[in-house]
Structure 1
Amino acid sequence: MPRIEWTENDRTGSDTGAGPDAPVHSARWHSESGAPAPRRVVVADDRTKADVAYRLVCEGTALLWRGDFHGARQLLSALGRRVDRKAAAPRKATASGKAAAPGATVADSFHLHRRARGHRARVLGMLLVRLDDDHGLALRRAPDVRAACREAYGPPDGPMVVSLRELLGVIGAHEWRSKGVHVPALDDRIHPHYGVFSPVRGEYVDLVARVPLPGAAERGAPPRRTAFDIGTGTGVLAAVLARRGVDRVVATDINPRAIACARDNVERLGLQERVEVVETGLFPAGRATLVVCNPPWLPARPTSAVEQGVYDPGGAMLHGFLNGLAEHLEPAGEGWLILSDLAEHLELRTREDLLASFDAAGLRVAGRHDIAPRHPRAADATDPLHAARAAEVTSLWRLTPA
C-alpha cells in the first residue's frame, strides 16, 4: 500500500515549511477511486482560509485536516463552490445542455461534463483525514465512523489516510445500508452495501416485476423453473423473480462486495432456499428459462467503484451478455435485457448499433416494454445533460435465439 508523509508544523499559510528537524509522520494511503497518493501534504485546521486552501489543492498540495469535523465539511463545500464558479465562468451552454461552441455535439457536451466532474472530484479529494488504528476519527465533533469504515474497508490494519469526500460517501453508504431502500415491487427493503449500485431508480425493477414471464416458466416446465440474474448487484432483481414464483434463481456478479450484498439481502428476505448467489463473470453453468441482465447503461469509463454500476467501458458487459445468451437459454426461454436509451440521446451509441449487436449475437426481438424515468434529474433544467435525461426511456428487451 502507498504511504503519505507529513509534518505537524508544516501548515497552510506557512512560508517557512516544516524545517529540517521536524518529525515526519506517515500513514497508509487509501483511495477507492484509485487516486495516487499526494506528493505533498500540509496540515490544515479551522484557521485555514478557503481561498488559501483552494490555491494549494489546485497546485497539487493535499490538506490533512486537524480541526473541527464540521469545519472540514464547511471547507469542502467552500472548495466545491470555487471549483463550480471557475468551471461556470467560461462555459456558454444552452438550457438544453448542448454546448454553444460551433460544431460541438451532444457527445462532446457529455465528455466535457465528465471531465469537469473528474476535475472536481480530484480537487475535492485533496482534503484528507486520518483514520486511527481502529478506524476511529480523532477530530472534534466527529461522528463514530468505525462501523461504516469496517463495512467499506474491512478490518482495520493500522492508521490510514483517506479523502474526506470519500469518507462522507462511506458514512452515507452505511446509513443507506442500515435503513435500506424501499422497493415497491417487493413491498420490502433492499439494503445496499458500499460500492454496490443502489436500486434508488425503480423503473428497471418495475419492468421485471410486471412483464409476463416466458411461457415455459408460467407452465412450470420440468424439472423446475430456473432464472439467471446476470450482474445481480444488490440482488434486487433476483429477489423480484423469486417472489414472482420462479423456483430457482442463480444470481451472479464479479464484484465481491456485490456478492456479499446480494447474499445479505437474500437472507434478509428469507429467499435463500430459492436464490443462489455465485461469484463469476456473467453466466453460471447450465441453462435457464429466463436470463435477466441490467448492465451499466453508458459505454464510458467509471472513475470510482460505485460508478461501475453506471459505466461500462466499450459496452463490454452488454456485448458479453448478448453473445453468450443463446447458449444459456432453455428451449422457449427468453433473455431480458434492461437498458436505458440515455446513451443514444448522448450520442454514445445508436439504436442501429444496438439492433446490430442483437443480430450479430444470433438473437431476435420477441417484444419490448418501455417505461419513462421518474427520478428528479429528469426534470432538472439546470442539469447540463437535461435534454438527454428528459428524453430517456428504459426498455426491457425480450430476446430469443433467431
Structure 2
Amino acid sequence: MTPRHVLRWTEPGRAGQPVEHHARWCSANAAAPPDRVVVADDRTTAAAAHRLARAGTALLWRGDYHNARQLLRALGRRVAAAEPPATTWATHRAARARRATLLGRLLVPLDGTGRVALRRAPDTARACAEAWGPPDGGPTVVPLPELLGAIGAHEWRRRGVPIAALDGARIHPHHGVFSPVRGEYVDLVATAPLPAAACGGTGLDLGTGTGVLAAVLAGRGVRRVTATDHDPRAVACARENLARLGLAGRVTVHHADLYPPHGRADLVVCNPPWLPERPNSPLDHAVYDPEGRMLHGFVAGLADHLTPGGEGWLVLSDLAEHLDLRPRDHLLAAFAAARLRVVDRLDARPTHRRAGDAADPLHRARSAEVTSLWRLAAETQG
C-alpha cells in the first residue's frame, strides 16, 4: 500500500498500562491522519461516538466488523439530523464535506495482507490492493467509509457494467475511475450521426476513463482510435477493458493531459467532468473540473486537432447551469472564441434514480437536467 502518514495512538496493554502503537495511515481521499485517537468497541454507543467525532477525535474500532458498520449508519443518521436543510449547491456541498469528515473518523485496522483485523470481517485483501496498491506487510489503519468504498469498487470491477451500445458487453471500472452507470452520455455517442470522414477514419477520445466511449467509436466503424487520460488509474483501466473487448489492436491508450502530442483526427470526443468546481479529494476529479479547465482545453484546441471535414463531439450536462455554476452564454462564447460552429445538438434526459427523487435537496436542478452532445466543426470548414 502507499499510505502517506503514520498514525499513532495508545491503548491499554496486558497490565492495564497504556501502550504506544503506530500503523501506516491510508486515505484515498488524501485526508490527514487524526491527531486524537481513542479505541472503541461493541460497547461504544452511537451518542458517544458522535460526541467524540464532532470534537475531532477519531475512533479506532476493535469490536465486531458488522457492529462497526451499524455504528457508521447510526452516525450517518445523527449527522443528517443535525444538519439544516441544504438550500443551495454551496450549502449542499459543504454539508456533504462535513459529513464525510465526521464519518471518516471511524477507523478500522488492516493487517499486513490488507485484510480487516476484526471479528467477522470479509476478506478485503483484493479490494484494498486494487484501491491502494499491494500491501507492504505492516499494519495499516483506514477510515471505514473508504474501506466500504474500496469494497464496493471491487464489486463493480468484478461484475462490470453492461453497456447496451456494446451489445451488452461489460465495462469494468477500477477504483477511482468514473463508472458508466449513467447511460445517456454513452447512448448519445452511440447514436449521433458520424461525420463521413470518421467512417473508416481516425478518432480521439479525450479523458477516456474506463475506455467506454473509445470502444463505442471503434464499434461504430472508426478504424483507429487514440484514447488519452491524465490519471494513471484510468489509463490502466481503459487498457484492460479494451483488451477484454478485443479492441487493443484498434484503440491505443496514452497517458496525456488532454490532446496527444501530435496528429489530427476525423472525430474528437470529450466527456469532461460536468461541474466546474474544485475537487475536495483525488477521487472527486471524475466529477469536478476546476474552473472548467478540461472543458475549455478541449474547446480551445479542437480546431487544431481536426482533419478537414472532421467534427468534435462535446458531451456535457447542463446541470452546472441549473446550479448557477456556469451560464450557457459562457459555453457559447467559448465556441465562438475558438472559431467553432455548432453543427447540431442532440439531447437526452437522465434516467438515474436521483433525477426523480423529490426529497433530493437538488431536485429542482436534477429534474431539469439535460445531457447534450454538441457536434462542433471548425468555422473554416464548409
TM-score (normalised: structure 2): 0.95
8 Å CA contact 2:226–2:252 kept in 1: the answer is yes
2:208 is aligned to 232
Which one of the candidate residues 37, 60, 63 is aligned to 1:64? 60
Deviation of 1:74 (Å): 0.3
Deviation of 1:169 (Å): 0.2
Deviation of 1:305 (Å): 3.3
**In structure 2, what is the Cα distance between the partners aligned to 1:205 and 1:260?**
20
**In structure 2, what is the Cα distance between the partners aligned to 1:394 and 1:70?**
40
Which one of the candidate residues 148, 153, 156 is aligned to 1:176? 156
Post-superposition, which runs of at least 4 consecutive aligned residues in structure 1 deviate over 6 A? none
2:225 is aligned to 249
8 Å CA contact 1:197–1:306 kept in 2: the answer is no
2:343 is aligned to 366
**In structure 2, what is the Cα distance between the partners aligned to 1:54 and 1:363?**
54
Secondary structure class of the residue paired with 2:83: helix
Q: Tell me, yes or no, if structure 1 residue 135 matches structure 2 residue 135.
A: no
Deviation of 1:132 (Å): 1.0
Deviation of 1:130 (Å): 1.2
1:148 is aligned to 127
**In structure 2, what is the Cα distance between the partners aligned to 1:302 and 1:129?**
25
8 Å CA contact 2:28–2:132 kept in 1: the answer is no
What does 1:148-167 align with in structure 2 at a 5 Å threshold? 148-157=127-136, 158-167=138-147
Q: Deviations over 1:56-107 (max 9, x none)?
A: 011000000000000000000011000000004xx4x7xxxxx3xxxxxxxx
Deviation of 1:362 (Å): 1.7
Secondary structure class of the residue paired with 2:134: coil
**In structure 1, what is the Cα distance between the partners aligned to 2:286 and 2:49?**
33
**In structure 2, what is the Cα distance between the partners aligned to 1:247 and 1:216?**
11
**In structure 2, what is the Cα distance between the partners aligned to 1:286 and 1:311?**
28
8 Å CA contact 2:313–2:374 kept in 1: the answer is yes
Q: Deviations over 1:327-349 (max 9, x none)?
A: 11101100000000000011101
TM-score (normalised: structure 1): 0.91
Which one of the candidate residues 4, 27, 41 is aligned to 2:7? 4
- Identical positions, percent: 65
Q: Deviations over 1:203-250 (max 9, x none)?
A: 0000000001112123x4xxxx11000000000000000111111000
1:294 is aligned to 271
Secondary structure class of the residue paired with 2:205: strand
Which one of the candidate residues 277, 280, 288 is aligned to 2:253? 277
Q: Tell me, yes or no, if structure 1 residue 205 matches structure 2 residue 186.
A: yes
What does 1:317-396 align with in structure 2 at a 5 Å threshold? 317-396=294-373
Aligned AA (2:117): A
Aligned AA (1:181): V
**In structure 1, what is the Cα distance between the partners aligned to 2:367 and 2:282?**
26
**In structure 1, what is the Cα distance between the partners aligned to 2:12 and 2:38?**
8
Aligned AA (1:337): L
Q: Deviations over 1:94-146 (max 9, x none)?
A: xxxxx3xxxxxxxxx00100000000000000000111111111111100000
8 Å CA contact 2:53–2:105 kept in 1: the answer is yes
1:111 is aligned to 90
**In structure 1, what is the Cα distance between the partners aligned to 2:338 and 2:114?**
48
2:170 is aligned to 189
Deviation of 1:304 (Å): 3.1
Deviation of 1:309 (Å): 1.3
Secondary structure class of the residue paired with 1:185: helix
Secondary structure class of the residue paired with 1:302: coil
**In structure 2, what is the Cα distance between the partners aligned to 1:77 and 1:9?**
28
The alignment covers a number of residue pairs equal to 372
Structure 2 gaps of 5+ residues are none
8 Å CA contact 2:28–2:283 kept in 1: the answer is no
Secondary structure class of the residue paired with 2:288: coil
Structure 1 gaps of 5+ residues are 11-17, 94-98, 100-108
Decide which moves more: 114-123 or 358-367.
358-367
**In structure 2, what is the Cα distance between the partners aligned to 1:248 and 1:265?**
16
Secondary structure class of the residue paired with 2:12: coil
8 Å CA contact 1:180–1:192 kept in 2: the answer is yes
Secondary structure class of the residue paired with 2:294: helix
**In structure 2, what is the Cα distance between the partners aligned to 1:22 and 1:49?**
23
Secondary structure class of the residue paired with 1:24: strand
8 Å CA contact 2:7–2:24 kept in 1: the answer is yes
Deviation of 1:307 (Å): 2.3
8 Å CA contact 1:8–1:43 kept in 2: the answer is yes
Deviation of 1:303 (Å): 2.2
Deviation of 1:8 (Å): 2.2
**In structure 2, what is the Cα distance between the partners aligned to 1:195 and 1:123?**
21
1:311 is aligned to 288
Aligned AA (2:192): V
Aligned AA (2:155): E
Deviation of 1:148 (Å): 0.6
